[in-house]
Structure 1
Amino acid sequence: MITDLDRNTLPARRDPAARVPEWLNLPEPRSFRPKRRYRAVWISDVHLGTRGCQADMLVDFLRAIETEHLYLVGDIIDGWSLRKAWFWPDAHNEVVRRILKMAHRGTQVTLIIGNHDEVLRDFAGFSFGGVELATEAVHRTADGRRLLVTHGDAFDGVVLYARWLAFLGDKAYALLLRANIVVNAVRKRMGMPYWSLSAYMKKKVKNAVQFVCNYEQALANEGRTRGFDGIVCGHIHCAEIRQIGDITYFNDGDWVESCTALVEDFAGAISIVEWKDDPSASVAFAEAVEQVA
């Protein structure tokens, strides 16, 4: 075991006597791509239930990997959006099916609850379909480092102290993502690669508001106070690995704008995978843009 997450109160991962859906045991489709094997993978901010979610790309990524540990670091399902209007295409079902299939086949899957899927907080400590729900977890890397895994919304002053402002920002962000879909539909017809308008706009204002910098520092301070070597989070949709004093800050990005994940190899090294820029993802991107165009 490489996690310090206390599982003593969790129910059994799977009851052998329970009936298992047939689709969980269906063989994988044959692929020309060799599987990428990792010790651990972190993804967050998928926002299933929104039009901006790059579900096809995420399914393609999950099909391309094998991992011992999969951490879903919050905002996997966007409850805020679903409360306003129901949107759940087949591609979003496929993300859920893929995650459950990975859990069924031996991957240890932990879902860290974020602010957009906060409705799950009452179920922290339980396991559903092999997916364990928690508010945070501890991961020990192959080289012995202890990492705190948390979504990060507890360190976002906007979410914590001005909830109404967070909802207002969420609405503006949704409009920006709609513009992002139109821009990329045009780029596809012109034979140009995927480009995130929303990510570009966020980076342009990063230094002006100093929000991202303050957020990273707050998380590094938390990790230091609690005696960790590093901290893994999501929430702000900015993938990054940065050393802040004696703490390594890891952010796994998102699957709305940048389509990124953190991966750990079997030596303990952690890196960022940018799936939208991976040649293997080109077909998935083309299909995703075609569906929303």
Structure 2
Amino acid sequence: MQTDDGSLLTRPLLPLASGKIPDWLDLPDPKPFRPKRKYRTVWISDVHLGTRGCNAELLVDFLRSVECQTLYLVGDIVDGWRLRKGWYWPDAHNEVVRRILKMAHRGTRVVFIAGNHDEMLRDYAGLSFGGVELALEAVHEAADGRRLLVTHGDAFDGIVLYARWLAFLGDKAYGLLLRANILFNLVRRRLKMPYWSLSAYMKKRVKNAVQYVCSYEEAVAQEALSRGLDGVVCGHIHCAEIRQFGGITYYNDGDWVESCTALVEDAQGAITIVDWPSEKALEQAGKIAAENAA
């Protein structure tokens, strides 16, 4: 159910629109070689399904490795801007959707906060599709009692808000950078090296980008303060971060195009960043060390 300002309240999950549950929802998962991590809450955003830059395989691997009570999809899960220009949807992107729907089917509360790239879903806020609740924003109560605003964050981005044409222009340049990132990591895979984001590295070295990120973080934190909340969880700028602004804690879950990160909450309410490529690299190094020792 949705309040007048678009905030989300708890509501029962609805069945698929057709009333029939697909057979694949009940198919067992492949037997994992590692125990699943159990979290109270997981936040992911900026997946950009429908683009070549989306690291869908890494995201599926992450989602298969976790169990959680609530999964927040914090916007830009599907890239409607790109799909309008040309269709790109490999099976790996279908697998992300299947994985999310399976989690909803098996009892995880899934909340989809629409972003600017999937803004076409904002008209359906307050509805539920396949067990996935659509909303403009939400207020999450952590296990330690803190109340956190959950929003994609584009409303606090001056470029998106006041100069939409500039946002599209920047999106095109960013797309070129992501193409270079794909080729760069293709070479790394052939050399049996782990994923590393060239595009994220370049962004962090650009002075104007750093200033923009800082201004954005302050604006989002100020919004949480004005509502009497304890913190905010957002995405949008593809920069995972946990920062303190006075009494407000700012959380950004990053993205699954460059950094491939998520936010997770444990049973006590502590929220941390999961850097999945780094964890996979450590896992691979451990396997190699074990093989060499055998």
Using the TM superposition, give the Cα deviation of residue 189 of structure 1 relative to its aligned residue in structure 2, in angstroms: 2.5
State the partner residue of 2:31.
30
Q: TM-score, normalised by structure 1?
A: 0.91
Using the TM superposition, give the Cα deviation of residue 190 of structure 1 relative to its aligned residue in structure 2, in angstroms: 2.8
Deviations 1:201-240 (A, max 9, x none): 1101146661000000000100000011000000000000
Q: TM-score, normalised by structure 2?
A: 0.90
Q: Does the CA contact (< 8 Å) of 2:8 and 2:126 recur in 1? A: no
Q: Does the CA contact (< 8 Å) of 2:137 and 2:151 recur in 1? A: yes
State the partner residue of 2:291.
none
State the partner residue of 2:265.
264
Using the TM superposition, give the Cα deviation of residue 6 of structure 1 relative to its aligned residue in structure 2, in angstroms: 2.1
Following superposition of structure 1 onto structure 2, how do residues 156-235 of structure 1 map, counting pairs within 5 Å? Answer: 156-206=157-207, 210-235=211-236
Using the TM superposition, give the Cα deviation of residue 17 of structure 1 relative to its aligned residue in structure 2, in angstroms: 10
Deviations 1:103-153 (A, max 9, x none): 000000000000000011110000000000000001000000000000000
How far, CA to CA, are the matches of 2:64 and 2:9 in structure 1?
29
Runs of 5+ in structure 1 lacking a partner?
284-293
Structure 1 pair 259–15 and aligned structure 2 pair: CA distance change class (3 A): closer
Q: Does the CA contact (< 8 Å) of 2:17 and 2:129 recur in 1? A: no
2:59 aligned counterpart, secondary structure:
helix
Runs of 5+ in structure 2 lacking a partner?
1-6, 285-294
Using the TM superposition, give the Cα deviation of residue 280 of structure 1 relative to its aligned residue in structure 2, in angstroms: 7.4
Number of residues paired by the alignment? Answer: 278
Q: 2:9 aligns with which of 6, 11, 25?
A: 6
**1:18 aligned onto 2:19:** yes
Using the TM superposition, give the Cα deviation of residue 45 of structure 1 relative to its aligned residue in structure 2, in angstroms: 0.1
Q: Which amino acid aligns with 1:210?
A: Q
State the partner residue of 2:292.
none
1:99 aligned counterpart, secondary structure:
helix
Q: Which amino acid aligns with 1:273?
A: V
Using the TM superposition, give the Cα deviation of residue 29 of structure 1 relative to its aligned residue in structure 2, in angstroms: 1.6
Using the TM superposition, give the Cα deviation of residue 15 of structure 1 relative to its aligned residue in structure 2, in angstroms: 7.6
Using the TM superposition, give the Cα deviation of residue 243 of structure 1 relative to its aligned residue in structure 2, in angstroms: 0.5
How far, CA to CA, are the matches of 2:138 and 2:209 in structure 1?
33
State the partner residue of 2:46.
45
How far, CA to CA, are the matches of 1:15 and 1:188 in structure 2?
39
The percent identity for this pair of structures is 73
How far, CA to CA, are the matches of 2:182 and 2:266 in structure 1?
33
How far, CA to CA, are the matches of 2:61 and 2:120 in structure 1?
28
Q: Does the CA contact (< 8 Å) of 1:57 and 1:281 recur in 2? A: no
Following superposition of structure 1 onto structure 2, how do residues 90-169 of structure 1 map, counting pairs within 5 Å? Answer: 90-169=91-170
How far, CA to CA, are the matches of 2:93 and 2:114 in structure 1?
18
How far, CA to CA, are the matches of 2:227 and 2:19 in structure 1?
40
Q: Which amino acid aligns with 1:237?
A: H
Deviations 1:229-287 (A, max 9, x none): 0000000000000001110000000000000000000010000000011137978xxxx
State the partner residue of 1:76.
77
